[in-house]
Amino acid sequence: MKPKILVLGGSGFVGKEVVRTLCKGGHAVRATYENSQREEVIGLLDAEWVEVDLGNSESIRSALQGCVAVIHAAGYEPESAAVSVSDARRRGVGELRRVLDECLAQKVVRIVYVSSISTMNNGEPDRVYDEADFYTPGQFSGAYYEAKYSMEAELYRYFDKGLEIVVALPSLVLGPGCIDSPASEILREILHEPAVTGTAKDDGATQQRLNVVDVRDVAGALVAAMERGRAGRRYALGGINTDVQRVRELIVQALEDDDRSVDEFLTDTHPTHLITELAEKLAGSRARQIVGKLAKYAPESLTDSLGDLQGLRRGRDLQSGEVQWYGVHVNSQRARGELGHRPRLLAQIVASSVDVRGVEKSRE
């Protein structure tokens, strides 16, 4: 058995696939879960599942014991558009520091940190981004960019202290299990409305750029980064450079091939779709208050979704001209050359993303 690896955020969309990849590769794995996902992940594969509080150093210390490396897929994201930049920075950097301090204390060999292509985006939509590009602080007004940038900057301080840190920058991650993850909101957004800020002229309109990558390819690249990535390096884990219109066409085609309609897909992929539609129709300053009241009477499994509605999940900013979370094209040549990153075809990614019944089969 290979040395034990800790996967922070192991119960998440990307984290579960990382756990699966590590186990298949013969690694001993300890993975962390959120309390709401305990029943879903306990017993999954051969991993040891533990709960961890990133706000508590002792909890992190316990999770790290006996592990030689960490794949950190639990980086903080502002849960609400109402979160201030200062609060987002404070929490994100604070949680990360506690992890890195404990890694130093326990002489962990390597940390692979899952960041975001947002830290490459400098607001120029008509170009292709790579690892040499950096977000400029203060460029956008939202807390998401500022928190992600500040957390990545903190990583380099600890690299100077001797930690072997590798930074991964995934683009829009889709693939098997996507419909049970926050990424499903982006699929819904793509189907609901045309997103038109970017390039690629189409009948006088402009189609927003996207780069789409499969979760299985991201997981493989993260494990490769742990095994042979160069310390101090950033790796853009992109897939196919495309646009919103093309992704929409492929979603519709995949559903037609499976004898499903778009309406059926939108209903099946989100248990709170009726509340979502209601929330979208609410206008005025009382909208968030009403959704908050609804959350008090919802089943526990829906509480997180309602909380996201209060802040409006960042996927809903897909069409924003000011803030484009995923609306860029990406060059992943470094990851291809050094990590063996080989993205799947776009049609394969989209088909597996909307396939409810064939999730496990598509992972083979």
Following DSSP, what letter does each residue of 295-310 receive, concatenated? HHHS-HHHHHHHHHHH
Please name the residue ranges forming H helices in 259-299.
Answer: 262-268, 273-281, 287-297
Distance of CA 29 to the CA centre of its chain: 21
pLDDT of residue 203: 45
Mean pLDDT by 10 residues, the chain (364 residues): 90 93 94 73 79 95 96 90 90 97 95 94 87 90 90 95 96 90 82 52 60 97 97 96 92 89 71 44 47 51 46 40 63 97 96 73 44
Residue type at position 197: T
- Residue 179 CB partners (closer than 8 Å, separation 6+): 187, 268, 269, 353, 354, 356
Sign of CA dihedral 237, 241, 244, 246: negative
Sign of CA dihedral 211, 216, 219, 223: negative
Q: Are 332 and 236 in contact (CB under 8 A)?
A: yes
pLDDT of residue 161: 93
pLDDT of residue 55: 94
- Strands 234-237 and 164-170 turn out to be parallel
pLDDT of residue 329: 94
pLDDT of residue 4: 94
Residue type at position 132: A
pTM: 0.82
